[in-house]
Structure 1
Amino acid sequence: MTKTKKPEGIETIILPSKTQQILDLLNRDCGATLLEIATLANWLPHSTRAYLTGFKKKGHIIDSDKVDGGRRYRISSSPEA
């Protein structure tokens, strides 16, 4: 078995994990809608809500507010909230 070398001058790009991308959305000042998170992750709404529950179980405090007829989720900046 022969190993192939990466051509010179080509860099490997490391993309953030899906979890990190979702955390980035939730850490925005405006938070993220269920649709934004589901679209990013390519999940159905019920799977997205279950994933948010997993964040709560890991100790994240997630606020949800009703805005313009929809719900926005964001990670609380203070544990007391």
Structure 2
Amino acid sequence: MLRRDEGATLTELIGATGWLPHTTRAALTGLRKKGHDIAKSTRDEVTCYSLAGAA
């Protein structure tokens, strides 16, 4: 989901994983700490996350 052009909202990530919101955000932080470039943007006034440079 993070590789999609439009990225994924927190709600979409929660729905896909079944995790709680704080666990989902912690996973994104873990990816950042491992060196992945997580980009934030907005779609319909909602924050979207995506892997920067992902094709």
TM-score when normalising by structure 1: 0.62
Structure 1 segments (4+ residues) deviating >2 Å: none
Query: How many residues matched?
Result: 54
Which position in structure 1 is the counterpart of 2:24? 48
Structure number with greater CO (CA < 8 Å, separation at least 6) is: 2
1:44 shift after superposition: 1.2
Structure holding more strand per residue: 2
Deviations 1:4-55 (A, max 9, x none): xxxxxxxxxxxxxxxxxxxxx0011110010111111101111100000000
Which consecutive unaligned segments of at least 5 residues does structure 1 have?
A: 1-24
Which position in structure 1 is the counterpart of 2:43? 67
Which position in structure 2 is the counterpart of 1:36? 12
Give the Cα separation in 1 of the matches to 2:20 and 2:33. 20
User: Among the aligned pairs, what percent are the same residue?
Assistant: 46
